[in-house]
Amino acid sequence: MTPRRLLGSIAAHGLALGLALGTGLTPAAAHHSFSMFDPAKPLQFEATIQSFQWTAPHAVLWVQAGQVGAYGPGLWSLELPTSPANLAKMGWSRNVVKPGDKVVVSINPIRDGRRAGQFKKLTIVASGHVLEALNIPGQTQQPPK
């Protein structure tokens, strides 16, 4: 999908991620630092949504995946950078994915070797719908002069 088509797809889904896309900025995590995840070893793999935990202070996506590199098949916990309240401002809702959805996820894995990671992005295979969680709106706003 080209960037233009991707943006069109997002607009069609009523998402307000335009400002967040493509900035390459690190998300501002609430509640705890995200440095336990390793940005130098990003992973991308196919998975199936088991559940979406829509809870403060961080939402968590639980997915089942087969063999991923050296990781055996099983359940992954993918932590989003912030709370449902802030994710809602980025176009997310508790219903954006549903159990059984086939997805491709991009994550930064946790350093201790478990099947856990910092959520970066997912694509719902059936629809091509892309979800990211790059910035909380306002994070990069500059103060008035």
Partner 1 sequence: MSRAPLFALALALALAAPAFAAPADDPITPAPTAKDWQALAQRPDWSGSWFPVISDQFAQVTSNPVPWKPEVQKQIDHWDAEEKAGRPRGLLLDCLPHGVPSFYLITHNSIEILQTPGRVTILGESDGNRLVRIWTDGRKAPADPDPSFHGYNIGTWQADTLAVSTTAILPQTWLAVSEAVGIAIGEGAHVEQKFHLIGPDTLAVDLTITAPAVLTKPWETRRLFTRKRARSYEIVEGVCRQGDFEETTDQWGNPAWSPLAQSADGNVLAPPAK
Dihedral (CA of 21, 22, 28, 34) sign: positive
Q: Minimum Å distance from CB 38 to partner 1?
A: 7
Asked whether position 60 contacts partner 1 by CB under 8 A, the answer is yes
Asked whether position 11 contacts partner 1 by CB under 8 A, the answer is no
Q: Which of 2, 4, 14, 33 binds partner 1 (CB under 8 A)?
A: 33
Which region, judged by CB under 8 A, interacts with partner 1, from 4-12, 85-93, 95-103, 122-130?
Answer: 85-93
Cβ(29)–Cβ(139) below 8 Å: no
Q: Which of 8, 18, 22, 57 binds partner 1 (CB under 8 A)?
A: 57
Which region, judged by CB under 8 A, interacts with partner 1, from 7-15, 41-49, 86-94, 123-131?
Answer: 86-94
Which region, judged by CB under 8 A, interacts with partner 1, from 1-9, 41-49, 120-128, 135-143?
Answer: 135-143
Catalog residues that contact partner 1 under the rule CB under 8 A.
28-38, 51, 53, 55-58, 60, 62, 70-72, 74-77, 79, 82-86, 88-89, 110-116, 136-144
